[in-house]
Chain A
Amino acid sequence: EIVMTQSPATLSVSPGERATLSCRTSQSVSSKLAWYQQKRGQAPRLLIYAASTRATGIPARFSGSGSGTDFTLTISSLQSEDFAVYYCQQYNNWPPWTFGQGTKVEVK
């Protein structure tokens, strides 16, 4: 099973600032990595797949990068609606599909 490690656990950012979230996998997943956003009480929402491809309707301020074992989600200028928990997921070696433990982006 591929273990996913996200850092930091919590990221405190002011609105308008850049947020950089990290995801590391225990072995290479090539570019088969997705990022999801989850707000309290809501369904997770797909943001990024194939490490760097934005899903339909996702604003350009969200970008993903990386391959192999190290990945980054960047939110270029945080909006109020972006404060949420973000999860990475690998889908290269399955089953199981595995997720990171999440990074909570909170208001500084």
Chain B
Amino acid sequence: EAQLVESGGNLVQPGGSLRLSCAASGFTFSNFWFHWVRQAPGQGLVWVSRINIDGSIAIYAESVQGRFTISRDNTRNTLYLQMNSLSVEDTAVYYCAREGLETGEWYFDLWGRGTLITVSS
């Protein structure tokens, strides 16, 4: 069964850093593009970042540009999100999501259960 499992969530102080991981199983990780999406408490889903198959192309939401870095290790079937200069506005559950394979259809066909990041002093 295809599965994504996030980890690394924690309580962190403003200005701090954290690295999230997303472990994939049950499918060929290296065939897919991936995203990070976040959800602040009681709020909707907000796209954060996307990475291509070999990790050479990454794009970011304006709100995290310059502070977050998405990466992947295809040998470990793992996606990462390095988060620096965290602020209280970054408090959210962070989900990794897999982009569908159909050409021209950039929806997200598999999601993890998320990991909670709380930024507070």
Report A's interface with B, CB cutoff 8 A. 32, 34, 36, 41-46, 49-50, 55, 87, 89, 91, 94-102
Contacts and interface: CB of A to CB of B under 8 A. Distances in A.
B44 A95 contact: no
Contact of B108 (A41, A46, A98, A102): A46
Contact of A34 (B43, B46, B108): B108
A28 to B, nearest CB: 16
The residue in B47, B59, B97, B110 that gathers the most chain A C-beta atoms within 10 A of its C-beta is: B47
B107 A91 contact: yes
A49 B45 CA distance: 17
Interface of B: 4, 35, 43-47, 50, 59-62, 95, 97, 100, 105-114
Interface residues of A, dominant DSSP = loop
Contacts of B95: 43-44
A95 B61 contact: yes
Contacts of B109: 46, 49, 55
The residue in A49, A94, A97 that gathers the most chain B C-beta atoms within 10 A of its C-beta is: A97
